Chains A and B, each alone.
Chain A
Amino acid sequence: MCDTTRTSGYVLCLLAALLFPCLAAAHAFPERSVPRVGSALTAAPKAVRIWFDDALKAGPSRVTVMDSTGKTVSKGHGHVTGNNPHLLKVALESLSPGRYWVHWTAVARDDGDKTHGKFPFTVK
């Protein structure tokens, strides 16, 4: 009797889960970037571009670049480009030699799932 009740309960829960459409739960992660992660450049880049594996929400997705002291060297917080929702881009100030950290936050367009990360590059 109890086994039957318990099994029926599980089955009902699973059926409800299967039939109830709701929101998405996808995560966006970088596919590639320019400059490349961990690269050492002889010429200072003018911008950072990161291509993601998911379309991004324009407002909250952002990218900033900091030098080794934590000073922001990017012009603003970047933006998702209009013609490619997978591309996050930010322009840079004139960079002197040193290590820089790219901090990004990606919010998936479909469901608002947020991921974040950071990676370095060096200007020689």
Chain B
Amino acid sequence: MRSFLCDKLTFRVGVMLIWAGFIVPAPAFAHAVAGMRVFPATLSFDDPGVANEFAVNDGQLKAGGATTNTLSLAYSKTVTRRFGLSVASDYSRVRQSGAADRHGWDNLSVGAAYQLFVNGPHEAIGMLGVSDSLANTGSADIAGDHSTVSPEFAFGKGMGDLPWSLRYLHPVAVTGAVSEDIPRDSAQPRMLNGGLSLQYSIPYLQRFVKDVGLGAPFNKMTPIVEYTVAKCVDSDALCRSSGNRATTGFLNPGVIWAGKYFQAGIEAQIPANSASGDHVGVLAGVDVYLDDVLPHSLGAPLFR
């Protein structure tokens, strides 16, 4: 009954969001752009833009004697300039000595995102989204047998509005995202996820502050540090029994190169505590900007 009601609620919210996307007048933006600021897509959590993108991320982590390789695929499509839909899934391979390898697709995740605000002069942007991992759409070895709804808020803020005397801080930006995983199975715990990035945009420096003469490929690079955290917010008993009692997190220093048609990034994944792992992992990703690659078909919103 609870599941049925949740489904009905999700459907109604989805319909409302779609109509909101259709009727609200929208300014022009596609990637996460706010005024003079372009926010590149972060590798470990959602960026604050609603865009037409195809993202491929590959990561490797070692924890508790297990090595996990994950290939993530995500496709985002704008319906209007402010409202978009997405579909995503991960292919994982888990290797652990003394146990058989496990591999396969995780559950398919579908989502909707709405561009809540864009403030050009202050380089501020906010996005509200919700995603739903669909039960039993992945491999039995990897995927759970329950659906999980995850509402999310993501934001970005550039420092271009600082006084000119602090001009070399203008290329600095922060982005962040907060989401909660709400499983439909009451035996699974609710998880709170957070992400925060600190970035320094060399393109911004050379376009708007000072052309320091950096050429390709450095002129399109953004050094970045991302931090992610996941905390169980359910009852202590449920957090403990599900193996999620300890808060986990990663500090990911790296660099993102963003061109006209795609971006590529690579980051180290440093466990923030012993519960997060005992080895430094690596995360790499490519985001194809369909807005620019296929501006008249896949890269265009349905309604403008």
Contact = CB atoms under 8 A, between A and B. Distances in A.
Contact of B206 (A2, A37, A110): A37
B30 A26 contact: yes
Interface residues of B, number: 50
A24 B298 contact: no
A44 B200 CA distance: 32
Interface string B199-220: 0000100111111000000000
Contacts of B210: 37-39
Nearest to B260: A53
B7 interface: yes
A117 B208 contact: yes
B292 interface: yes
Instruction: State which size class the interface on A falls in.
Output: 35 or more
B24 interface: no
Contacts of A113: 28-30
B304 A117 contact: no
B19 interface: no
A2 B14 CA distance: 14
Given A25-B81, A29-B38, A37 B211 contact: yes
Interface in A13-28: 13-14, 16-18, 20-27
A102 to B, nearest CB: 10
B31 interface: yes
A25 B52 contact: yes
Interface in B113-165: 120, 134-135, 137, 147, 164
Contacts of A37: 206-211
A22 B207 contact: no
B299 interface: yes
A53 to B, nearest CB: 5
Contacts of A117: 36, 207-208
Interface of B: 3-4, 7-8, 10-11, 14, 18, 28-31, 33, 35-36, 38, 52, 77-79, 81, 85, 87, 110, 120, 134-135, 137, 147, 164, 203, 206-211, 260, 291-292, 295-304
By Cβ-Cβ distance, the 5 closest A-B pairs, closest first, are A24-B295, A38-B210, A25-B30, A22-B300, A2-B7
Given A13-B18, A17-B78, 16 more contacts: A2-B3, A3-B147, A10-B110, A17-B302, A22-B296, A22-B301, A24-B299, A25-B291, A29-B207, A33-B211, A39-B211, A54-B260, A113-B28, A113-B29, A116-B35, A118-B208
